[in-house]
Amino acid sequence: EAQVTQNPRYLITVTGKKLTVTCSQNMNHEYMSWYRQDPGLGLRQIYYSMNVEVTDKGDVPEGYKVSRKEKRNFPLILESPSPNQTSLYFCASSASYTGLDYYGYTFGSGTRLTVV
């Protein structure tokens, strides 16, 4: 089954304790992206990657790191989490094809992170 797998689904952590949220896709997609979703603010892009070893900042990159060492994996790293990073996080992937039948991002199931 074609899918994007995120882990963990739920995470409660303490301020300053480094954590990694994993993301893996099995569709051989070139593009991957991380979003956070907050009430009243919608989905905001954190980082994106256009291929292996190619990453760039989205709209809200502060406090986050990413890496793309393999095509299928795109982990999100919080080196020193703070309470304002409490949010619902989504990983997404898409093919690079941009024709008229492009079907956009496939999203992972989400990770609900609470930083106390």
Partner 1 sequence: GQNIDQPTEMTATEGAIVQINCTYQTSGFNGLFWYQQHAGEAPTFLSYNVLDGLEEKGRFSSFLSRSKGYSYLLLKELQMKDSASYLCAVRPSGGYQKVTFGIGTKLQVIP
Residues lying near partner 1 in the complex (CB under 8 A) are found at 31, 33, 35, 40-45, 48-50, 56, 58-59, 90, 98, 100, 102-110
Provide the minimum distance between the beta carbon of 17 and partner 1 in the complex, in angstroms, as a whole number. Answer: 26
Provide the minimum distance between the beta carbon of 8 and partner 1 in the complex, in angstroms, as a whole number. Answer: 15
Q: Give the H/E segment covering residue 90.
A: strand 87-94
Provide the minimum distance between the beta carbon of 92 and partner 1 in the complex, in angstroms, as a whole number. Answer: 8
Would you give the DSSP letter of residue 108? P
**Comparison of 1 and 98: residue with beta carbon closer to partner 1:** 98
> Which residues, at least 6 apart from 94, have a Cβ–Cβ distance to it below 8 Å?
29, 30, 31, 102, 103, 104, 105, 106
